């Protein structure tokens, strides 16, 4: 999914453009808006932006200056300048920027939408990476030099390889033409094909080698990196920034997250594969590499398995514990679940089960706590099978205690659910339906906060997801786009509120998230064929007729 940011200090223009473009390519384009250059730069610090449509003249910082700042951080971002002034000097300066366009506001929405569609197609074509695949074949021999590969793999497996003094380590790196510094902190990225099972021997179809070349191309502007394919079918990148800049804590990890989104898009377009990435959220020094690598592999194994690409950030010891209303440890809650199962209290059993597994799968849950929770649940179910004499009915029960045989933690949790369902059916004959906890919570939040900012980026921040992953995951679970769900909730609530004769149209607009009444009017008419006032009048007339004496 690509991301478009609209920037204009005139709210009516920003809102109108947002409304027009939000429905243009709902499955390809996430549309955001900002009312100043400062607000726009805040967006750009938080997430990757592919296209910026901005007013060329704004108070404080104009569009040209803002575009220079954008290009410094996201050099591949396309810029579209909008202005109501036929100013040759501004136009000339704007057209000197690579991949920049220039439009007059008087040219109309048709010209704007046509240009955006054209740019999205250009971005999509650029991700096909045909030239880079050719480069992949040319560089494959160099990337697979045995000495370099062996050195990096040994460093990932044992801290001794990257131990010792920095001068000695730098000599080893230089001798193998590894472009990294021996005395600067590292970041580690572990990538895996999201839907892969057991890895094939070697790289028979060249996907791993091609992914390494694509990543190198998209990262080379800002980072130094070396990569290696490990024995588990992962690709591992050792990364350092090219320039050590004084930036806020975690800023480089956020840059890597955005850059890896581009790698995912490019691999999908060029190789037709879906990649998941796990990266270290903080820098570390070379002797810690093996320990960090093992941690990322475990985190990756716990979270992959749903067939869609995602990006996970390991924030190490500073990760917050998973939020929970129950302050008790998993062991005491599992003990209570055993009692629920034994006494046939199915609803209470599933409620506790869902809370525990939801916490287990949350990105911020520490791995040690997740393992404790899993094995606690597995032992509880295994004991019930033995206690009820169901060993012959559930022959695969021993898999509960062999976690390493599961493809991922998500798959392991699914197996827990399968066993739990069979036990519940045996005990009460009544299978409980389970809604996905994260999606259910998100839907409830949207319905209760229609007046708030419900952009994809803000919702992803709230639920600790990568925006692109949340978009795909929501559609996979619900069967419709998140933007369509939000629009449906807004139109339903608007109709209900418009039936209240005490509320004015602008008040209804504000309650369903529209600051400008004219934007709400266009949205409502597009969905219903009537303006809000026409709908309100029709409701009032219908009420009057029903209230009149027969």
3-state secondary structure of 52: strand
| pLDDT value at residue 443 | 92
| pLDDT value at residue 308 | 57
Give pLDDT tens digits for 8-35: 999 999 999 999 998 888 888 999 999 9
- The listed range with the strongest mean pLDDT (137-146, 238-247, 475-484) is 475-484
3-state secondary structure of 535: helix
* From the candidate CATH numbers 3.40.50.410, 3.30.70.270, 3.30.565.10, 3.50.50.60, the one assigned to the domain spanning 130-314: 3.30.70.270
* 484 band by pLDDT with thresholds 50, 70 and 90: very high
Give the sign of the dihedral formed by CA 92, CA 94, CA 97, CA 103.
negative
- The listed range with the strongest mean pLDDT (157-166, 352-361, 392-401, 482-491) is 482-491
Q: What is the DSSP string of 444-457?
A: HHHHH-TTS---HH
141 has a pLDDT exceeding 70? no
| pLDDT value at residue 164 | 78
* 350 band by pLDDT with thresholds 50, 70 and 90: confident
Residue with tokens 């709210």: 11
| pLDDT value at residue 218 | 87
For the chain, the residue count is 550
Bridge partners (DSSP) listed for residue 102: 81
| pLDDT value at residue 428 | 63
322 has a pLDDT exceeding 50? no
Give pLDDT tens digits for 150-202: 889 889 888 788 877 888 999 989 988 899 999 899 999 998 876 545 555 56
118 has a pLDDT exceeding 50? yes
Give me the percent of the chain exceeding a pLDDT of 90: 22
Mean pLDDT of 404-417: 84
* From the candidate CATH numbers 3.40.50.2300, 3.30.70.580, 3.40.50.300, 3.40.50.1780, the one assigned to the domain spanning 2-126: 3.40.50.2300
Mean pLDDT of 38-60: 88
Q: Where are the beta strands (DSSP E) in 194-246?
A: 223-229, 235-241
Higher pLDDT, 53 or 297: 53
CA pair distance 70, 76, nearest whole angstrom: 9
Which of 106-115, 376-385, 534-543 is the least confident region? 534-543
| pLDDT value at residue 508 | 93
Q: Give domain 439-547's CATH superfamily.
A: Homeodomain-like (1.10.10.60)
- In degrees, to the nearest 5, what angle opens at C-alpha 443 toward C-alphas 437 and 447? 145
| pLDDT value at residue 142 | 58
| pLDDT value at residue 429 | 46
Give me the percent of the chain exceeding a pLDDT of 70: 83
CA pair distance 482, 17, nearest whole angstrom: 20
CA pair distance 467, 482, nearest whole angstrom: 11
* 268 band by pLDDT with thresholds 50, 70 and 90: confident
* 139 band by pLDDT with thresholds 50, 70 and 90: low
Q: Distances in Å between the alpha carbon of 427 and those of 235, 332, 340, 385, 397?
A: 46, 22, 11, 11, 17
Mean pLDDT of 222-231: 87
137 has a pLDDT exceeding 90? no
Mean pLDDT of 437-459: 88
| pLDDT value at residue 282 | 86
SS3 content of the chain, % helix, strand, coil (to 5): 55, 10, 30
Higher pLDDT, 134 or 107: 107
What lies within 8 Å, CB to CB, of 31 at 6+ separation is: 4, 6, 18, 21, 22, 24
| pLDDT value at residue 342 | 76
Domains of the chain by residue range: 2-126, 130-314, 330-428, 439-547
| pLDDT value at residue 319 | 35
| pLDDT value at residue 97 | 72
Q: Where are the beta strands (DSSP E) in 242-395?
A: 275-280, 311-314
| pLDDT value at residue 180 | 92
296 has a pLDDT exceeding 50? yes
> What kind and span of H or E run contains 505?
helix 505-511
């Amino acid at each position: 999914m690509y991301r478009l940011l609209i920037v204009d200090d005139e709210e009516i223009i920003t809102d109108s453009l947002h409304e027009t473009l939000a429905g243009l390519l709902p499955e390809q384009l996430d549309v955001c808006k900002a009312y100043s250059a400062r607000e726009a730069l805040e967006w750009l610090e938080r997430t990757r932006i592919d296209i910026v449509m901005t007013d060329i003249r704004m108070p404080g910082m104009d569009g040209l200056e803002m575009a220079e700042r954008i290009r410094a951080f996201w050099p591949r971002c396309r810029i579209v300048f909008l202005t109501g002034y036929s100013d040759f000097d501004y136009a000339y300066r704007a057209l000197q920027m690579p991949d920049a366009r220039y439009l007059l506001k008087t040219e109309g929405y048709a010209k704007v939408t046509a240009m955006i569609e054209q740019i999205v197609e250009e971005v999509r074509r650029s991700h096909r990476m045909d030239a880079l695949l050719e480069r992949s074949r040319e560089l494959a021999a160099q990337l697979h030099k045995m000495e370099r590969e062996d050195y990096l793999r040994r460093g990932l497996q044992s801290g001794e390889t990257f131990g010792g003094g920095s001068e000695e380590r730098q000599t080893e790196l230089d001798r193998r033409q590894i472009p990294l510094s021996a005395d600067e902190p590292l970041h580690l990225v572990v990538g895996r094909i999201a839907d892969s099972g057991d890895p094939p021997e070697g790289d028979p179809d060249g996907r791993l080698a091609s992914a390494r070349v694509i990543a190198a191309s998209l990262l080379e502007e800002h980072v130094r990196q070396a990569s290696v394919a490990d024995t588990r079918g992962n690709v591992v990148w050792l990364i350092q920034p090219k320039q050590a800049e004084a930036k806020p804590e975690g800023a480089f990890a956020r840059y890597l997250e955005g850059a890896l989104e581009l790698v995912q898009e490019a691999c999908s377009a060029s190789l037709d594969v879906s990649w998941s990435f796990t990266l270290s959220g903080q820098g570390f020094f070379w002797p810690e590499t093996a320990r960090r690598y093992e941690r990322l592999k475990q985190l990756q194994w716990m979270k992959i398995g749903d067939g869609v690409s995602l990006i996970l950030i390991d924030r190490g010891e500073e990760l917050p514990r998973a939020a929970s209303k129950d302050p008790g440890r998993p062991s005491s809650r599992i003990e209570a679940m055993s009692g629920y199962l034994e006494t046939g209290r199915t609803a209470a059993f599933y409620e506790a089960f869902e809370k525990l597994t939801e916490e287990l799968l949350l990105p911020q849950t520490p791995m040690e706590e997740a393992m404790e929770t899993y094995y606690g649940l597995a032992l509880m179910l295994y004991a019930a099978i033995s206690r009820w004499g169901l060993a012959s009915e559930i022959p695969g029960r021993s898999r509960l205690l062999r976690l390493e045989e599961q493809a991922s933690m998500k798959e392991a949790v699914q197996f827990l659910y399968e066993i739990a369902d069979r036990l519940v059916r045996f005990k009460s004959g009544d299978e409980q339906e389970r809604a996905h906890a994260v999606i259910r919570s998100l839907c409830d939040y949207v319905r209760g906060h229609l007046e708030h900012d419900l952009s994809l980026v803000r919702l992803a921040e709230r639920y600790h997801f990568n925006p692109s992953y949340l978009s795909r995951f929501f559609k996979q679970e619900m069967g419709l786009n998140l933007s369509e769900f939000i629009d449906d909730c807004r139109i339903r609530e608007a109709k209900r509120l418009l039936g209240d004769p005490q509320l004015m149209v602008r008040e209804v607009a504000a309650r369903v998230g529209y600051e400008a009444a004219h934007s709400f009017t266009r949205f409502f008419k597009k969905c219903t064929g009537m303006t809000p006032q026409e709908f309100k009048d029709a409701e009032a007339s219908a009420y009057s007729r029903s209230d009149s004496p027969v």
